[in-house]
Structure 1
């Protein structure tokens, strides 16, 4: 018994000694931390998300902020070091002095005091505030999904949110709003398409074939997360929405409708004729003879949907009940969910060139590529009055009510010259 009792005493004393050592040398134990996110908001959250540790916040700091360095592992000795914040303050003051000197020099030379970036940033704040006001109910506009939580949005309705993990970007594409060129940009950034001529990924967005860029297999979207991550998919979406830079481009809703109609029904398009055009003709054209089987035959016979028939189709309760709103005329709030996704940048087609240049700089990829502008066949806003001239006034008002959330969310004025009130 004496030997056993001695062993117990020795074991107890050894355990107490080890506990004491842990308390004394706690900071040196392998950087162990029960709450890593308190020290680093960009800590690794999952093996699939390793590149979330890259810092995106610095892209939206003002130019008078000094560069900061964030480490995944933060020790107590580093955090409590006094000279670092002093040096940081000195650097900030030095940068402020430089900016003030540049401002004075600009004024002396007769240049405008404000830069295009300050104007663009202010405009972005205005655009984002419009969305917040409408989504909060401040403007007393109700529409489906306004108060819906992001977790309640079905996966199939997240198929327009393209994710680039390499550069930590999320782009919600809207058809008929320069989406072909923005998809080209996303293909180049993600290096998801090989050029047959070079055998390497495309580096010039303008060189990416337009007939390939809409191939859904080239883009990782939120709708595909369930397939890749299973039960973790919603959690990963939430974290990426929090840390990644999110953007979309919008357009006057009525002008977008005109563009969609011209593109899909103004010339033979077999797929759209069979799925939509033939339905419009059979419902609203009062044809006494059978419809041609193909778009080519229909156009050759002078049989094709009119813009009025297209509008009637959009307003038809049967159309809405069948949930067959194609992405080319589906409302932007249903494509991109601006009340659930807090976008960092809202671009407009009407200011595409300046907005694109501003965005690429904010994303810090302007040194990698240029937005492919070139020749574009745009539907002009000035055409709106002519296109709606033959549409009855009450029909125009119904159409406005259908797309009113997009008008209000993105700051487009109510088309008084079309609605006459």
Structure 2
């Protein structure tokens, strides 16, 4: 059910001349696009048995990162590094913070949001869904992981949690012979070191940081109903459709925030970093993110083309 809000929002309204919208034909095309994505999700969930309740994180509904706005009938599962900064800003606006305050404050937007959006139980979430639009933003899992690695590890704030994590990874993984030849003199973990650490965390069943965790595990879209799947790659159109369907055109401006650090083109970065991994390393990484690839219609083939030769190349590089 899609509900339109009235103009008595209590928020600063965007003037008519600044509102962006889609044409009737574009809205119809978007409707078909969204239906196709949801149908694929349903089919793949059934194929992999992810729509069946169980004891592990893949089969247990997780409501931890859902933000439920009952006033404006919109619910979002926040997948970090998938336009999360932009929509965290939007949800804070819907919670009553002014855009001017959000742009100037030094407080973390997630913390501000949680002051207005309490965590919900599964029952509370499902009750709120009865008259709301629930959405998720998907992103290519490997692209999302690289973005998180660069943002949280390479450019980690000094003495922050992720800075300390990076130092720990270097201490524990740089001593491995097959990683030393690829390390150079960097103080932060190289991408192969980071990937080895992440794979080990998965194998050991350890907690996976919310910036690196599988979106399927994080939002459990096979166990919780979603009305829309937006995609990072087509976000400009997708979010216009969402904003129009929720009647929030005069409240939310479809602005893209925090485009990433370093100013490099996405494809160039993908090749630079994933070419540092062997095919075996890449497939082990894929094994963890496979559901994200399949449920949201992404492909690993391009990345496999980037892969370096396996252990023989490492031995040659290290002079063995």
Shorter-chain TM-score bucket reads: 0.7 to 0.9
Unpaired runs of 5+ residues, structure 1, are: 1-55, 60-112, 194-201, 226-232, 288-300
Matched with 2:12 is none
Evaluate the alpha carbon distance shift between residue 265 and residue 203 of structure 1 in structure 2; reply closer, same or farther with a 3 A threshold.
closer
Residue of structure 2 equivalent to 1:277: 166
Structure 1 residue 371: Cα displacement:
2.2
Q: Distance in 2 between matches of 1:205 and 1:249?
A: 25
Structure 1 counterpart of 2:230: 347
Aligned to 2:187: 303
Q: Secondary structure at the match of 2:230?
A: strand
Instruction: Name the residue aligned to 1:331.
Output: 214
Counterpart position of 1:383 = 269
Per mean C-alpha deviation after superposition, the further-off stretch among 157-166 and 253-262 is 157-166
Partner deviation per Cα, 1:198-234 (whole Å, 9 max, x = no partner)? xxxx15797474743121533424xx34xxxxxxx54
Give the superposition deviation at 1:308.
0.3
Q: Larger % of helix: which?
A: 1
d(CA) in 1 for partners of 2:229 and 2:221? 10
Contact 2:3 2:73 (C-alpha < 8 Å) held by counterparts? no
Q: Quick one: distance in 1 between partners of 2:175 and 2:54?
A: 44
Q: How many residues align?
A: 272
Offset, 1:282: 2.0
Q: Tell me: CA distance 1:338–1:375, structure 2 relative to 1, closer, same or farther (3 Å).
A: closer
Structure 1 residue 415: deviation in Å?
A: 2.0
Partner of 2:95: 190
Q: Structure 1 CA distance, aligned partners of 2:302 and 2:168? A: 31
Partners of 2:3 and 2:152 lie apart in 1 by: 42
Structure 2 unaligned residues grouped into runs of 5+: 5-22, 177-184, 308-320
Tell me the CA shift for residue 418 of structure 1. Answer: 2.2
Q: TM-score, normalised by structure 1?
A: 0.59
Is 2:292 the counterpart of 1:406? yes
Within 5 A, what are the aligned runs for 1:166-245? 166-191=71-96, 193=97, 202=98, 207=103, 209=105, 211-215=107-111, 217-221=114-118, 224-225=119-120, 233-245=121-133
1:315-354 residue CA offsets vs partner (Å, 9 max, x unmatched)? 11x5543522101010001111100112111111111111
Per-residue CA distance 1:223-255 (angstroms, 9 max, x = gap): x34xxxxxxx54333222333210111111001
Contact 1:206 1:372 in 2 (8 A): no
Indicate yes or no: 2:43 matched with 1:133: yes
- 2:26 is matched with 116
Q: CA RMSD in A?
A: 2.9
3-state SS of the aligned residue for 2:135? strand
Report the CA distance shift for 1:375/1:246 in structure 2 as closer, same or farther (over 3 A). closer
Query: 2:152 aligns to what?
Result: 264
Instruction: Tell whether the 8 Å contact from 1:248 to 1:347 is kept in structure 2 after alignment.
Output: yes
Distance 1:237 1:180 in 2: 22
Q: Match for residue 143 of structure 2?
A: 255
* Residue 240 of structure 2 corresponds to residue 357 of structure 1: yes
Q: Secondary structure at the match of 2:251?
A: coil
- C-alpha contact (below 8 Å) 2:65/2:78 kept by paired residues: yes
Q: Distance in 2 between matches of 1:235 and 1:260?
A: 32
| Residues 305 and 374 of structure 1: CA distance in aligned 2, closer, same or farther (over 3 Å) | closer
Question: Based on CA coordinates, which of the two structures has the bigger radius of gyration?
Answer: 1
Q: Which has the higher contact order (CA 8 A, sep 6+)?
A: 2
Q: How far off its partner does 1:284 sit?
A: 1.0
Q: Distance in 2 between matches of 1:362 and 1:149?
A: 34
